[in-house]
Amino acid sequence: MNYTISDVAGMFNLSVHTLRYYDKEGLLPFISRDKSGNRVFTALDLDWVALICCLKNTGMPIKDIKQYCDWAKEGSITGEIRKDLFKKHRTTVLKQIEDLKKNLELIDMKISFYENPENVQLMDKLACKVAAETMFP
Amino acid sequence: MNYTISDVAGMFNLSVHTLRYYDKEGLLPFISRDKSGNRVFTALDLDWVALICCLKNTGMPIKDIKQYCDWAKEGSITGEIRKDLFKKHRTTVLKQIEDLKKNLELIDMKISFYENPENVQLMDKLACKVAAETMFP
DNA sequence: TTAGCATCTCGAGCTAACTCTAAGTCAAGA
DNA sequence: TCTTGACTTAGAGTTAGCTCGAGATGCTAA
């Protein structure tokens, strides 16, 4: 079963422009074409696109993803270096999760601040609005 | 105890340029100045900067943070709307964490793929390199 | 066969968030 | 007094990642 560029765009919530941009940047170094030059995506290609989206959505810059693609094209000789890349990237993703969890705590504190009517009362009593804003329990 | 712009930049790992940019964009609507016009940050201001960084680092656009700042300046009348903002933002942060966790699973699968020497062998045997890349256990 | 639609390439344009430069002010130390 | 260094503003420049438009091509249904 094959897919057109707009099928794939729909599946991954990307625009066809974006997919063509990724192709141009070398992130899809394998997509074949039909006889009229249109891109043809196979089921296997979808897994690749999923991986590219994974890397992009975890904050890897396009040029680093491109580097990975270039390594992938070279075959097993770059196996170790690619493993290292994923391991390093793994720690950055863990860090992102930790950072988000810390930020979530602050957001939760703000919500509980606003949920206490006394705090909201206090807001206008203080000369500096920001004082009320930053006075956490 | 007061702080200069470069003290604060150091504390939050921002550049002084960025802090001035945030000020210009209305994200620091309260910072006072000394008699020669230099910004003076109080301990309370640091809490505000921390909140701005929290919102920025959880993906809130500058213009939305600006909106929040404008509401904060208006006092208790915008209390409810700000609570809603934090509640909505909370769910987007939870979503981000979930998405990162899903992506982490894929990254872990890639690492275990590379850790199996048979898979790495397989890479060069397949005509299409990407096939080896996307064949997960 | 003709209309309509999806695809293509190439290249320009756009937005967000900085990032930097130039030219100037000010206060403290040698 | 002079120099050094941190601060100021206004505004231009940069980067990443799209996003769009023009003009061409090719299949498909009426």
Confidence category of residue B75, pLDDT binned at 50, 70, 90: confident
Bases along strand D below 7 A from a protein CB:
6-10, 16-21, 25-27
Question: What residues of chain A lie within 8 A of the CB of B136, using their CB?
Answer: 47
Instruction: Output the CA–CA distances (angstroms, integers) from residue A117 to A121, A133, B109, in the order listed.
Output: 6, 13, 48
A29, A47, A94: residue with CB nearest B134: A47
pTM flag (> 0.85): yes
> If you average pLDDT over every residue of chain A, what do you get?
91
Residues A68-95, mean pLDDT to the nearest whole number? 94
Whether CB of A134 is under 7 Å from strand C: the answer is no
**Contact flag A134-B30 (C-beta cutoff 8 Å):** no
Q: What CA dihedral angle connects A78, A81, A83 and A87, to 10 degrees?
A: -160
- pLDDT average, residue stretch B25-30: 95
What SS3 state is found at A88?
helix
Separation between Cα atoms, residue B94 and residue B76, nearest integer Å: 27
Query: Residue B3, Cβ neighbours under 10 Å: how many?
Result: 18
